[in-house]
């Protein structure tokens, strides 16, 4: 009987010590959590207890903290980008708007038809610049909206790419660029969002046109691999992956009024259709490929 009582006392003491150890670990965890709950920190929670369930709880809490920090960092980065974009666009809108107001006033005061025409040309150019800026604001809303407003349809990629290249031919001729075009004669049919594919092709050709040193290669294989390449000295020192960042701009080309949304939209639309896109340099040329 005494033996059983002694065993019971020992068991109770062990259980009490375990409870005290767990309580101590919980207090330790509470203090640790209080110190590490700042979402800007990258440190994780730790616990000295060897209790399996408590360590499992800490692991779950760390997973939750990491997920929250990831979301917070994305929000914080997006908020900073938005503030920068608004500041830049507000500044760039103010300049042409001031010019429009000034030249309009001058045109109204002048009786000379030729001089009035010159002022109207300047006004038209500044107004076009403002329109481009407002279009980029719209594009930013498309990026952040996350909604698809159309159904997937069966489309012929080779036809859409041919139409896109033909639409750009006047601009290409003006730049003296004779693109090497190799588009599959066989049907490349896919079920995709037509407006997304159209914008992807258009933005990529426009980007190549903007930075090309005078050459351009465009191809689409029967397997659905799209490729566009050109020599672009302005981009030669730029990490190819950074070209897809929102609001990334090349300072030497800043006077074109671009705010760096074209390629980020291409990447976003490509990923929304579960396709892969990559950019790299090959033999001195910037190459962008998409697997459709």
Residue-wise pLDDT for 94-116, tens only, equals 667 777 777 777 777 776 677 77
Domain termination site, one of 103, 122, 145: 145
φ/ψ of 214, rounded to 5, equals: 130, 5
CATH number for 285:
3.30.565.10
Q: How many CA atoms lie within 13 A of 79 on its CB side?
A: 6
How high is the pLDDT of residue 253?
42
Same domain, 176 and 137: no
How high is the pLDDT of residue 255?
45
Same domain, 246 and 141: no
pLDDT at 183 over 90: yes
3-state secondary structure of 85: helix
Average pLDDT over residues 173-202: 92
Q: Give the chain's mean pLDDT.
A: 77
Same domain, 139 and 174: no
Range of weakest confidence among 141-145, 254-258, 278-282 = 254-258
Domain termination site, one of 120, 145, 170: 145
Same domain, 206 and 127: no
pLDDT at 134 over 80: no
Same domain, 187 and 114: no
Handedness of CA 247, 250, 255, 261 (dihedral sign): negative
Of 289 and 42, which is predicted with more confidence?
Answer: 289
User: How far is CA 76 from its chain centroid?
Assistant: 15
Q: Are 124 and 150 in contact (CB under 8 A)?
A: no
Same domain, 227 and 246: yes
Same domain, 9 and 135: yes
What angle separates helix 262-272 from helix 113-145, to the nearest 10 degrees? 30
Residues 290 and 230: their CA atoms lie apart, in Å, by 16
Of 174 and 225, which is predicted with more confidence?
Answer: 225
Overall number of domains in the chain: 2
Residue found by looking up tokens 């040193």 in the block: 213
Of 87 and 47, which is predicted with more confidence?
Answer: 47
3-state secondary structure of 273: coil
Q: Residue 176: which region, alpha, beta or left (left: phi > 0; alpha: psi -120 to 50)?
A: left
Most confident of 66-75, 257-266, 272-281: 272-281
Same domain, 31 and 89: yes
CATH number for 99:
1.10.287.130
Same domain, 163 and 207: yes
Same domain, 111 and 184: no
Beta bridge partners of 207: none
Q: What is the residue range of 26's domain?
A: 1-145
Taking CA 196 as the corner, what is the angle to CA 192 and CA 200, rounded to the nearest 5 degrees? Answer: 115
């Amino acid at each position: 009987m005494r033996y059983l009582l002694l065993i019971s006392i020992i068991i109770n003491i062990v259980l009490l010590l375990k409870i005290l150890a767990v309580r101590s670990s919980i207090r330790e965890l509470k203090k640790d959590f209080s110190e590490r709950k700042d979402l800007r920190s990258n440190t994780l929670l730790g616990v000295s207890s060897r209790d399996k369930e408590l360590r499992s709880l800490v692991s779950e809490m760390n997973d939750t903290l990491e997920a929250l920090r990831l979301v917070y960092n994305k929000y914080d980065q997006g908020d900073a980008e938005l503030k920068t974009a608004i500041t830049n666009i507000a500044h760039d809108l103010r300049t042409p708007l001031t010019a429009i107001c000034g030249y309009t006033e001058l045109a109204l005061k002048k009786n000379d038809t030729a001089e009035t025409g010159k002022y109207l040309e300047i006004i038209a150019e500044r107004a076009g610049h403002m329109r481009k800026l407002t279009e980029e604001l719209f594009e930013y809303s498309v990026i952040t909206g996350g909604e698809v407003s159309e159904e997937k349809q069966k489309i012929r990629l080779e036809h859409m790419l041919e139409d896109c290249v033909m639409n750009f031919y006047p601009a290409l001729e003006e730049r003296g660029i004779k693109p090497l075009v190799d588009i599959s004669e066989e049907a490349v049919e896919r079920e995709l969002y037509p407006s997304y594919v159209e914008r992807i092709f258009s933005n990529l050709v426009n980007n190549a046109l903007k930075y090309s040193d005078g050459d351009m290669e465009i191809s689409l294989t029967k397997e659905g691999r799209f490729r566009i390449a050109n020599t672009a000295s302005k981009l030669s020192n730029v990490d190819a992956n950074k070209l897809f960042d929102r609001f990334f701009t090349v300072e030497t080309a800043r006077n074109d009024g671009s705010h760096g949304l074209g390629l980020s939209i291409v990447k976003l639309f490509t990923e929304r259709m579960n396709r892969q896109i990559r950019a790299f340099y090959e033999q001195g040329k910037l190459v962008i490929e998409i697997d459709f």
